């Protein structure tokens, strides 16, 4: 019988992905489930469905490794080549729909949210691409797949924090980004004695922080990003 990778067993991480899935349902309940699915746009439904499928894959794949079902793990993994483009397309369509639907009053916040959506899409695509490049290296592959899950922290916990402390909206981004970075720091510390692949999380921490800074520092108000937002809004995707 084949043996599961030992240097970095992300196969043990499936309960954490499952917990994140449950938290996501709770976080989106007030704004998505509770009002009724008919109140949301078709682009929201497409994004919700593809994101949910990705979270399910994050749960199933490590569990398959954990139960030594390697062939099935590879077969399910092939579906990611279809699912990931769908996730990215759904993110872009939803971002385009929201900024094209923005009123003059909420347009500034929509340009800010557009940056969050685009930056998370880039981080997600980048992490997945590296996971596939290193798919034959279990240690590196597993770490980069974990990083795809970390792109879900901000959209999930931002809504959760808002439902708990709605009067502190200006701090939510710091809280969600801080949580994401803290998880990376914990992972770096947890595998400090690993002999292979431990460079991944430090490098990804730097990349995540670099992607977070424009939003945290409100650089989305700069003319260059406003020009991009206007260009993106003009594209008739939705």
Nearest to 16, CA basis, from 211, 200, 152:
152
Distances (CA, A) of 94 to 46, 47, 216: 9, 7, 22
Q: What is the pTM assigned to this prediction?
A: 0.92
pLDDT band at 7; cut points 50, 70, 90: very low
Model confidence pLDDT, tens digit, residues 188-205: 999 988 888 899 999 999
**3-state secondary structure (DSSP) of residue 78:** helix
Nearest to 28, CA basis, from 42, 13, 14, 49:
49
Q: How many CA atoms lie within 13 A of 13 on its CB side?
A: 21
Model confidence pLDDT, tens digit, residues 94-140: 999 999 999 988 899 999 999 999 999 999 999 999 999 999 998 89
pLDDT greater than 70 at residue 1: no
């Amino acid at each position: 019988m084949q043996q599961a990778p030992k240097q970095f067993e992300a196969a043990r991480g499936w309960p954490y992905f499952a917990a994140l899935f449950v938290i996501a349902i709770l976080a989106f309940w007030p704004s998505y489930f509770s009002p009724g699915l008919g109140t949301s746009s078709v682009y929201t439904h497409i994004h919700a469905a593809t994101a949910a499928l990705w979270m399910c894959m994050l749960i199933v794949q490590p569990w398959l490794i954990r139960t030594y079902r390697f062939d099935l793990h590879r077969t399910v993994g092939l579906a990611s080549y279809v699912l990931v483009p769908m996730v990215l397309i759904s993110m872009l369509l939803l971002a385009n729909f929201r900024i094209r639907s923005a009123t003059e009053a909420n347009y500034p916040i929509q340009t800010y949210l557009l940056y969050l959506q685009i930056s998370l899409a880039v981080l997600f695509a980048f992490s997945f691409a590296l996971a596939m490049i290193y798919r034959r290296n279990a240690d590196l592959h597993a770490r980069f797949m974990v990083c795809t899950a970390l792109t879900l922290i901000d959209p999930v916990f931002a809504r959760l924090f808002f439902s708990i402390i709605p009067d502190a909206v200006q701090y939510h981004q710091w809280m969600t980004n801080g949580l994401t970075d803290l998880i990376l720091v914990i992972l770096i510390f947890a595998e400090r004695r690993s002999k292979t692949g431990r460079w991944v999380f430090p490098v990804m921490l730097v990349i995540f922080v670099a992607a977070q800074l424009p939003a945290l520092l409100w650089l989305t108000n700069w003319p260059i990003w406003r020009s991009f937002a206007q260009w993106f809004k003009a594209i008739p995707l939705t």
